[in-house]
Amino acid sequence: MVKFVRVIPLATKVGTVTIKYPFEKPLVTESFRGAIEVDPSKCTGCGACTRICPPKALSLIVEGGSLILRYFVGKCIFCGMCADTCPEKAIKVTREFELASEHIYDLYTDVEHEIITCKRCGTKFVSKKLVDKVRSKVGEPLDELAYLCPTCRRIEMLSKTLIFR
Amino acid sequence: MLVRGFLISFIINIRIAIIIINNNHFGDPMADPLDIATIIASVLLYVFLPPLLDGVERKIKADIQSRYGPPTIFQTWFDILKLMSKEVVIPINYIFYIVPISLSFTLSIVLSVIMSQIITLSNMSLMKIISVFVFLTSIHVLNMLTYLFSSNPFSIIGTFRVMTLNILNEVGLALFLILMFIVVTNSPCSIMLSLFTITPLTIAVYISHGRLPYDLHEAEPELASGSLIEFSGPILGLYLYSHLIERYILTSLPILFIIYMFKVFQNVFVMSLVFHVFTIVLYIIFAVVSVILGRSKVNLAVKTLAFLYFLAIIIWIGVYIVERII
Amino acid sequence: MKESYNVVKNDELSSLYNYLSNLKAPPPTIEEDLVKIIIRRENLREVIEYLSKCDGIFLRTMMASDERKVEGFFKLYYVFGLDKHHKNIVIEVPISEEDPVVPSIVDIVKAIDWYEREAQDLMGIKFSEKIPHKFVLPDDWPENVHPLRKDYTIQDLSKLYKPRVVAHAKEVEAEAVVVVPIGPYHPALHEPEYFELYVRGEKVVDTRYVGFMVHRGIEKLGESMKYDQVPFLAERICGICGFVHSTSYCQAIERALKINVPERAEYIRSTILEIERIHSHLLWIGVAFHLLGYDTGFMHAWRIREQVMILAELLTGSRKTYGLNIVGGVRRDIDEDKVKKSLEVLDKVEKEVKNFIDIALSVPQVKTRLKGTGYLPKPDAIALSLVGPTTRGSGVPRDVRRDYPYAAYKYLDVEPITRSEGDNMARAEVRVEEVFQSIAILRQLLDKIPRGSIAIESWEAEPYKFGIGAVEAPRGEVIHVIITGTYSPYRWRVRAPTYQNLLAIPIMLRDGDLADAPVTIASIDPCFSCTDRAIVINIRSKKVEEVPLSFLSTKGLKLTR
């Protein structure tokens, strides 16, 4: 009949479960996914992460003569797909979640890369690191075409074929 | 307009308070300085203790719910002061809005004066008990006038609920107050009978507190704060404060009779202190009970209460007859 | 598999096949769990009438699709389900662009009402005998712009529709636009929707419901994202049952493209689904106690639930939006340590829940206010095709885990838990029992989890394939219907359980007390983020009306005496 009074001894046994955050540290397990960190030495500016990112928090822009990988924490959903997709394993998922700031520019992180200018038409199109990496893997056949943008590459290949004819 | 409204209600309040306190002497002899000092101390306790008790209650509630609750026990004081500092939003016919609420606040303070007088001077009379009851009822009626001021449907539904409950509960409260008075002022004070009177009186007092399971006027999930929906800023602060004082006064009623029965303390000051200490203990017991129960529905509440009071009266009459026979 | 169900009534199935083959239409495609037939709209009513007479048939969902580029028609897909035979029956009706009118079947199948209205709004298909009023879309949406048609891309739509407030603010050159919501916020309802209760004294005599205040256009958005990005979008359809939506989407794609998910991935998916069920039911119990005024119960229920949330974070990396599903499997593995930890946490939770529910359901106010209120009769539950604990509390044993087995439930036996009383207490008891059932299922799953990879290596996307994915969410049945495209879904339909269950609320509130309304509304466990539709039902006159939002928000509530 008075079974409901047993909630008092139950509460006494359990005690207080809340913590006085931010004066005490909150519980975060080891698998928690927080903001990401891009390692500038490993990143080649290939842009695979920007293509898979669901909310488009990572973007590749050409600004002021260099290629920039921009990470905007405000849009990030902390899924970690970029870390899974990066071919160089340059992205690490940290456990940071206290990301608030008073200035919005604190939320942008940039990784700068030196950009290649096409030898023929002068457009800037890809980072030097990526070209060097591809050259080191492919080797000889690529040398002439390595520093040309895709349009110029097609024109070059076409003109070569016509010359052979 | 605002200032004029508050001035008018202030003047009305002072006038009524003076009239009541003047008329309330009912031919008492002039008291000596210790008595006056005790009365003043008691009134100060009545006025300044309730918000502190509410803070303690919130801490206890949080403890039962495995959390921390407010950071200090003075939290309700801070809340009331904060509410007083907000902007006042009043309609054009402000008189009907401000006067009832400030009047009920004044009545609470007047009541505390009367109660302190009763316990210090040990002169309980039927007139005094009836006047206490009448003032309590007037406080409820004035509050309801304020709730009904807006035509908000939530407010109207909440008021109808609290009116239904109050009508039933005040019958019980009046009845057992008078019965208790009779039992206490009878020279051979029978313990048995007083037990059977004080229990229904305590229950009636608990219900007029307006706590769970009968806080129907303010059922937050159902009625979006029910009758309190239009209150804000200083008016809400005033209402809250007056409500807390009224609760404390109600809690002290049963204790008043108990102490009156066992008139052991000669020193008036000690008696007043013990009176307040027991009231605090009863208040905390009420607080614990309200945490472990849910909220009732108005039609269920009416049925339960009617049944309860009916049963209590039957038992009382039975015990009375048995005592008379023995 | 489930022999006991297949033995009976196999001849019924063959008589259905006979009927379908004898129609003047191309022969039906019959697969293991799917029967698809294309019929003309003139034959629609006749076929639906035949189907509705079959025993044990329920409407699962309906989808409208714009396939003018592919086949030259609009198409309507009606998905019915025969639970006992584990078969989906899909009726395809092509509709030409010049004359997009279809006969309405709402008098034969009551449950089709909202689906037809939605198709009317978003695809522009007219149903005869139906008043063309705005249902999903806001009142100031431009006329004759039907968003789900392929004529518009997401970028077009965001330029096309400017809410009135923004336009007016630009006119008066206001600096910042502040939108003040009037009406839809109430302490009893944790999401914005609008129930208008007509009361006489304390009795409820009439109900109006206006919703769709959080309609976000997810189905259209999904068409512009790639296949592997959509699970993250799907997970954010709901804040409590997100994983159900992403699993359902992945299953729909996997069915459409005939992808075989490795067994270990299926077990992991089922494990996380059951964990989600436990935390959702504990949340509901807490909310129900809060609505009854018993705040202590609320605090303790959520305290117990917290351990499940921490476990979910340990297993998946996030407390709620797990981000675990991709098409073809899962992204994270569960190793031995985590299995052991999970079993410890489950033991603790089971003991605490038993103890706590014992105490909480003995509080006199809770008992009297839950028993006998919000009664839902069984014939209504069947006629409206309700799902989840709402219908199981009225004695109808529907459960997707048994009727259309998916993931690891193919290897387990799940019996739906039912109660016959049909009141709020019955639904609460069903949910509590399901918590214990989930813990038992989890113990079985974690014990038998097989070795292997957690996702398939790679898969090819073929366009214009049809797939259905259904999952038993804590609130009922979630169905996703997919037509695949080359890089992203061509058409994606989401049907959340609350969409189906909201039709039950006027019936449950009828003749009840005003004080019971919040608990009754909460007892279907509404998840308006999943749902959002608008309807006005007058119970007495049986009329269905539309009320524009501006009217409601300025005129406010009215009371009838």
pLDDT the model gives residue C529: 61
pLDDT in tens, B260-280: 877 766 777 888 888 899 999
| CA B208 – CA B167 distance, rounded (Å) | 10
Classified as helix, coil or strand, A32 is coil
Q: Are B234 and B88 in contact (CB under 8 A)?
A: yes
Burial class (CB in 10 A: 0-12, 13-18, 19+), A163: exposed
pLDDT the model gives residue A147: 81
The verdict on a CB contact (< 8 Å) between C366 and B67 is no
The verdict on a CB contact (< 8 Å) between C293 and B219 is yes
Classified as helix, coil or strand, C547 is coil
Taking the domain C218-522, which CATH number applies? 1.10.645.10
Does the structure show a pLDDT above 50 at C534?
no
- Interface probe for C, chosen from A8, A29, A51, A84 (most Cβ of C below 10 Å), is A29
What element of type H or E holds C11?
helix C10-21
For residue C76, CA distances in Å to A115, B221, B248, C257, C493 come to 52, 42, 68, 21, 12
Asked which of A53-67, C183-197, C271-285, C383-397 is least confident by mean pLDDT, the reply is C183-197
Does the structure show a pLDDT above 90 at C432?
yes
| CA C423 – CA C375 distance, rounded (Å) | 4
Report the residue of chain B nearest C198, measured CA to CA: B153
Q: Interface partners of A (3+ CB pairs, < 8 Å)? A: B, C
- Report domain extents, chain C: 3-138, 218-522
Does the structure show a pLDDT above 80 at C390?
yes
Residues 170-229 of chain B whose Cβ lies under 8 A from any Cβ of chain C: 212-213, 215, 219-222, 224-225
Report the residue of chain A nearest B64, measured CA to CA: A11
Chain A contact set for C323 (CB, 8 A): 33, 77-81
Minimal Cβ distance to A54: which of C229, C317, C332: C229
Minimal Cβ distance to C232: which of A4, A29, A77: A77
Q: A155-164, B194-203, C131-140, C466-475: which has the highest mean pLDDT? A: C466-475
The verdict on a CB contact (< 8 Å) between A16 and B63 is yes
CATH of the domain at A135: 3.30.70.20
Does the structure show a pLDDT above 60 at B27?
no
Q: Which residue has the higher pLDDT, C538 or A65?
A: A65
Q: Is B288 on the interface with A (CB under 8 A)?
A: yes
Read off the pLDDT band of C536 (50, 70, 90). Answer: very low
The fraction of chain B above a pLDDT of 90, given in percent, is 16
pLDDT the model gives residue C232: 93
Q: Which two tokens stand for residue C547?
A: 């009320």
Tell me the nearest-neighbour CA distance from B155 into chain C, angstroms. Answer: 12
Residues 283-302 of chain C whose Cβ lies under 8 A from any Cβ of chain B: 289-297, 299-300
Does the structure show a pLDDT above 60 at C136?
yes
Range of the domain at A69: 30-164
Domain count, chain A: 1
Q: Are C493 and C480 in contact (CB under 8 A)?
A: yes
Classified as helix, coil or strand, C357 is helix
Does the structure show a pLDDT above 80 at B222?
no
Q: Which two tokens stand for residue A111?
A: 């990784």
pLDDT the model gives residue C161: 66
Q: Which residue has the tokens 């066992």?
A: B262
Q: Is B64 on the interface with A (CB under 8 A)?
A: yes
Is the four-CA dihedral C406, C410, C414, C416 of positive or negative sign? positive
Q: Interface partners of B (3+ CB pairs, < 8 Å)? A: A, C
Q: Residue type for C303, please? A: R
Read off the pLDDT band of C209 (50, 70, 90). Answer: low
Minimal Cβ distance to B66: which of C188, C290, C300: C300
| CA C147 – CA C156 distance, rounded (Å) | 10
Q: Which residue has the tokens 């402000």?
A: B94
| CA B50 – CA B62 distance, rounded (Å) | 18
Domain C3-138 has CATH 3.30.460.80: yes
pLDDT the model gives residue B259: 83
The verdict on a CB contact (< 8 Å) between B294 and C366 is yes
pLDDT in tens, B67-96: 998 999 999 999 999 998 998 877 777 777
Across the range B285-295, mean pLDDT stands at 89
Asked which of A83-92, B141-150, B273-282, C72-81 is least confident by mean pLDDT, the reply is B141-150
Residue A9: inside a domain, yes or no?
no
Residues 138-157 of chain A whose Cβ lies under 8 A from any Cβ of chain C: none
Report the residue of chain A nearest C357, measured CA to CA: A4
- Interface probe for A, chosen from B66, B291, B293 (most Cβ of A below 10 Å), is B66
pLDDT the model gives residue C559: 27
Q: Residue type for C444, please? A: Q
Q: In what order do the strands lie in the sheet with C535-538?
A: C194-200, C203-210, C535-538, C543-545
Read off the pLDDT band of B49 (50, 70, 90). Answer: very high
- Provide the greatest CA pair distance for chain A: 101
Q: Interface partners of C (3+ CB pairs, < 8 Å)? A: A, B
Does the structure show a pLDDT above 60 at C555?
no
Q: Are C376 and C393 in contact (CB under 8 A)?
A: yes
Q: Are B289 and B159 in contact (CB under 8 A)?
A: no
Which is nearest to C285 in space by CA: C369, C237, C356, C376?
C356
Read off the pLDDT band of C560 (50, 70, 90). Answer: very low
Does the structure show a pLDDT above 50 at C49?
yes
Does the structure show a pLDDT above 90 at B183?
no
Q: Is B285 on the interface with A (CB under 8 A)?
A: no
Q: Which residue has the higher pLDDT, A146 or B130?
A: B130
The verdict on a CB contact (< 8 Å) between A8 and B68 is no
DSSP C556: -
Minimal Cβ distance to B295: which of C186, C202, C292: C292
Q: What is the pTM of this model?
A: 0.82
pLDDT the model gives residue B7: 77
Q: Taking the CB of residue C323, how many other CB atoms lie within 10 A of it?
A: 24
The verdict on a CB contact (< 8 Å) between C323 and A77 is yes
Across the range C398-409, mean pLDDT stands at 90
Whether complex ipTM tops 0.90 = no
Q: Which residue has the higher pLDDT, C11 or C435?
A: C435
Sites in chain A below the pLDDT cut of 50: none
DSSP B88: P
Tell me the nearest-neighbour CA distance from A16 into chain B, angstroms. Answer: 4
Tally C-beta pairs within 8 A across B and C: 74
Across the range B100-128, mean pLDDT stands at 80
Q: Which residue has the higher pLDDT, C281 or A12?
A: C281
Does the structure show a pLDDT above 70 at C9?
no
pLDDT the model gives residue C33: 84
Tally C-beta pairs within 8 A across A and C: 65
Across the range C18-32, mean pLDDT stands at 82
Q: In what order do the strands lie in the sheet with C466-473?
A: C466-473, C476-483, C491-495
Minimal Cβ distance to B63: which of A4, A5, A11: A11
The verdict on a CB contact (< 8 Å) between B66 and C516 is no
Across the range B34-59, mean pLDDT stands at 88
Q: What is the mean pLDDT of chain C?
A: 81
Which is nearest to C530 in space by CA: C557, C559, C495?
C495
Which is nearest to C327 in space by CA: C193, C444, C467, C212?
C467
Residue A39: inside a domain, yes or no?
yes
| CA C526 – CA C519 distance, rounded (Å) | 11
DSSP string covering C296-330, please? HHHHHHHHHHHHHHHHHHHHHSSSS----EETTEE
pLDDT in tens, C302-328: 999 999 999 999 999 889 889 899 999
Does the structure show a pLDDT above 60 at C531?
no
Chain C contact set for A53 (CB, 8 A): 229
Across the range C431-452, mean pLDDT stands at 93
pLDDT the model gives residue C384: 87
Chain A contact set for B66 (CB, 8 A): 11, 14-18
The verdict on a CB contact (< 8 Å) between A29 and C314 is yes
Does the structure show a pLDDT above 50 at C5?
no
Minimal Cβ distance to A8: which of B64, B67, B293: B64
Q: Which residue has the higher pLDDT, C558 or B163?
A: B163
Q: Which two tokens stand for residue A122?
A: 């002068």
Burial class (CB in 10 A: 0-12, 13-18, 19+), C122: buried
pLDDT in tens, A15-31: 888 888 888 888 888 88
- Report domain extents, chain B: 2-325
Does the structure show a pLDDT above 50 at C550?
no
Q: Residue type for C325, please? A: N
Asked which of A55-64, B142-151, C90-99 is least confident by mean pLDDT, the reply is B142-151
Minimal Cβ distance to A4: which of B65, B68, B292: B292
Read off the pLDDT band of C466 (50, 70, 90). Answer: very high
